[in-house]
Amino acid sequence: MKSLVEYSSSSDSEDAAEAGSPPAPSAKKMRLPLPSQIKTMKLNSIHEVPVDDPSKHDGRVRSFQHERGNWATFVYVPVDVPILDDLQNSLIKSPLIDVELKPSSGIHISLTKTVVLQHHWIDSFVSSVRNELVLTKKFRIQFQHLKVYCNEDRTRTFIGLKVNSGMTQQLDAISKRLDTVLKEYRLPEFYKDPSFHCSILWCAGDHETKFNAILKDLETIFQSYFIKSSEEFQMAVNTILCKTGNKLFRFELS
């Protein structure tokens, strides 16, 4: 199985190891003056903690505090189903929706929770994930029903597409193997009774009860697409990704 690593354009720069300091200059040698920028630099700036501002990212709230050296990490299946664009638009335009729904970007099926991984663990963690996936064969899945989800902090609500229950065995098996890696690093395991799905729409706040009340009507919209072209809601699972901070590791299945 091939494994590749990619980097996103926004950088969480890694600290490079400093080279050995040069010998101290002789007292007789002239000392160069410090640049004015350094003289006025705040000494505590490197310790400043970024302030979470939900207004800068569509009202989303961090699930955990940002700390230097801690990288948000999760493993998932990327979803590429073109018909989802039309489905998203139809659901958003439904007169039943009275909150601002937004289309999800980077649609995927989670195989782990989002966990906090320390920077110095990244290489060995990815190696462990690779070892668990090395014999995994490609397989197919199909999305079949809508379901409403809310994150653990109850700060966002999602409308998701569930994977056909008869096609979740491989996803469940992979998730359980990944749980062994998470245990090794004392990180939270995946849900005990996972509902494998991809979130296609989301909104800020806890609207789970409201959306569940109209779920049958929203399901009718989905079924109008599914009945016409059910094969378009199928996809091959050829790749599993691991995102940690700004690094993206790709594992091609055999």
Q: Any idea what the CATH number is for the domain that residue 109 is in?
A: 3.90.1140.10
Q: Quick check: is 209 in a domain?
A: yes
Q: Quick check: is 27 in a domain?
A: no
Q: Is the pLDDT of residue 162 over 60?
A: yes
Quick one: which H or E segment has residue 197?
Answer: strand 197-204
Q: Quick check: is 18 in a domain?
A: no
Confidence of residue 48 (pLDDT cuts 50, 70, 90): very low
Q: Quick check: is 194 in a domain?
A: yes
Active site residue 197: yes
The two structure tokens encoding residue 240: 């599993």
Percentage of the chain surpassing pLDDT 90?
73
Q: Are 5 and 248 in contact (CB under 8 A)?
A: yes
What one-character DSSP code corresponds to residue 179? H
Q: Quick check: is 212 in a domain?
A: yes
Q: Tell me if residue 226 falls in helix, strand or coil.
A: helix
Marked catalytic residue, from 57, 66, 108, 119:
108
Q: Quick check: is 159 in a domain?
A: yes
More reliable by pLDDT, 180 or 69:
180
Q: Are 180 and 34 in contact (CB under 8 A)?
A: no
Q: What pLDDT sits at residue 68?
A: 76
Q: Quick check: is 34 in a domain?
A: no
Marked catalytic residue, from 120, 145, 197, 207:
197
Confidence of residue 27 (pLDDT cuts 50, 70, 90): very low
Percentage of the chain surpassing pLDDT 70?
74
Q: Quick check: is 130 in a domain?
A: yes
Active site residue 108: yes
Determine the structural domain holding residue 171 and report its residue range. Answer: 59-252
Number of structural domains (the chain) is 1
148 phi/psi in degrees, rounded to 5: -95, 135
Q: What pLDDT sits at residue 60?
A: 52
5 phi/psi in degrees, rounded to 5: -120, 135
Measure CA 180 to chain center: 20
